[in-house]
């Protein structure tokens, strides 16, 4: 069985390696990731993982893994900020509040698809303007759902989480390992 990672995210590649899965190939899906008008965060990430999976062709003997992660401020989906102004807006929304991080993974063979959703909760401390400015200056917000990465400098802003740390980073490792094993893959280390 060949493992195909359907994601261009370097974080997902690193996370997979932590649990002993090394993809044989990376194929990046090309889909529209715009939320539907009234779509809420959990159904959105589930739809994205499924659509990414369906957008990539696989053959017999291949196992495809796709994923999506989004930060939710209430019912609002906070995806990847388009620019610094949007990153500041997102951090302002999250400052001093608890929020949810939704991750969904899809594992597909030519015969079957498995999907698993994971919800984690994060509390961000109240951020000063200086803290937001300093974080924005690092550039770490780029390409990150909600405008922050818990594994980077923003870790200093998070006193509490409930759920899966790896899911907050973008790939729930426990659930990923379970689904890949259900699809017939076993762990292997990098050569």
Whole-number Cα distances in Å, 32 to 20, 69, 171: 31, 15, 20
Q: Catalytic site residue 117? A: no
Q: Please tell me which residue in 24, 32, 38, 68 is annotated as part of the active site.
A: 68
Domains of the chain: 2-182 (3.90.950.10)
Question: pLDDT tens per residue, the chain (191 residues)?
Answer: 999 999 998 899 999 999 999 999 999 999 999 998 889 999 999 999 999 999 999 999 999 999 999 999 999 999 899 999 999 999 999 999 999 999 999 999 999 999 999 999 999 999 999 999 999 999 999 999 999 999 999 999 999 999 999 999 999 999 999 999 999 998 754 43
CB-based contacts of 111, cutoff 8 Å, min separation 6 = none
């Amino acid at each position: 069985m060949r493992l195909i990672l359907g994601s261009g995210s370097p974080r997902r590649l690193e996370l997979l390696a932590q649990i002993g899965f090394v993809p044989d190939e990376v194929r990046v899906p090309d889909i529209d990731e715009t939320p539907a008008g009234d779509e809420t965060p959990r159904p959105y990430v589930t739809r994205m993982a499924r659509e990414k999976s369906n957008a990539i062709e696989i053959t017999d003997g291949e196992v495809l893994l796709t994923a999506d992660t989004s930060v939710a401020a209430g019912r609002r989906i906070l995806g990847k900020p388009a620019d610094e102004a949007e990153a500041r807006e997102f951090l302002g929304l999250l400052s001093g509040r608890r929020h949810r991080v939704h991750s969904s993974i899809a594992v597909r063979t030519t015969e079957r698809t498995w999907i698993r959703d994971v919800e984690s909760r994060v509390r961000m401390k109240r951020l000063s303007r200086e803290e937001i400015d300093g974080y924005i200056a690092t550039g770490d917000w780029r390409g990150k759902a909600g405008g922050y990465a818990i594994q980077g400098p923003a870790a200093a802003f998070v006193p509490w989480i409930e759920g899966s740390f790896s899911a907050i980073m973008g790939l729930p490792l426990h659930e990923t390992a379970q689904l890949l094993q259900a699809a017939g893959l076993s762990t292997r280390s990098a050569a």
